[in-house]
Amino acid sequence: MFPNGRLPRKMRGSALMIALFVIVVMALLAAALGRLLTDSSEQNTVEVRSLRALLAAQSGLEISLYRLFPRRTLAQPQPPARCETLFTTDFPGNPGLVGCQVQVRCVMAPVTYNGVVSNGYRLTSEGTCSIGVSDALNPDFSVQRTVTVAAYDGGVR
């Protein structure tokens, strides 16, 4: 292509510039991909903690509803209902809810249904999950979910 096999003076070093450009573009792509993976990991952590907080809130409601409407037996046909103003637990012995806590508030109010006055209850459960370990892959933050339910005893005394 060139008569003496040598490149013209103005074309020397162009391959070096192209190689540098390619290296810079590849480095930028690698950095962007790394940031995308980090964001995805953090989003996954938020989703897992959110679900655990929701399950903690639902579990707290189930515990409180069982205390409110305990199982009737022949030995105790009318067990006392316990509407605790504030019930808190951190689920000891439950490996699925480690680092989670629930607070359930119960408010009692009279309810009239079909002319019969009975006890109505409003239960609000707040499940909170957080873990004290802080690093780049597991940021230290807290997630909270709230579940509310209303129940009444149906006039059973």
Structure tokens at 108: 């009692």
Q: What pLDDT, on a 0 to 100 scale, did the predictor assign at position 37?
A: 77
Q: Is residue 114 within 8 Å of residue 71, measured between CB atoms?
A: no
Query: To the nearest 10°, the Cα dihedral for 140, 96, 51, 59?
Result: -120
Q: What pLDDT, on a 0 to 100 scale, did the predictor assign at position 3?
A: 63
Q: What pLDDT, on a 0 to 100 scale, did the predictor assign at position 5?
A: 62
Q: What angle do CA 22, 28, 31 make, to 5 degrees?
A: 140
* List of E strands, 35-133: 86-89, 100-113, 116-130
Q: What pLDDT, on a 0 to 100 scale, did the predictor assign at position 156?
A: 56
Q: What pLDDT, on a 0 to 100 scale, did the predictor assign at position 1?
A: 53
CA distances from 45 to 97, 108, 110, 130, 143 (A): 14, 37, 43, 11, 10
Structure tokens at 112: 């009239």
Q: What pLDDT, on a 0 to 100 scale, did the predictor assign at position 139?
A: 52
Q: Is residue 130 within 8 Å of residue 49, measured between CB atoms?
A: yes
From 120, 84, 89, select the one nearest 105 (Cα to Cα): 84
pTM tops 0.75: no
pLDDT tens by residue, 51-105: 999 999 999 999 998 888 887 777 777 777 788 889 899 888 888 888 889 999 9
Structure tokens at 36: 């995308």
pLDDT tens by residue, 126-155: 999 886 554 445 556 788 999 999 988 765
Q: What residue type is 76 in one-letter code?
A: Q
Tell me the torsion sign for CA atoms 76, 71, 115, 121. Answer: positive
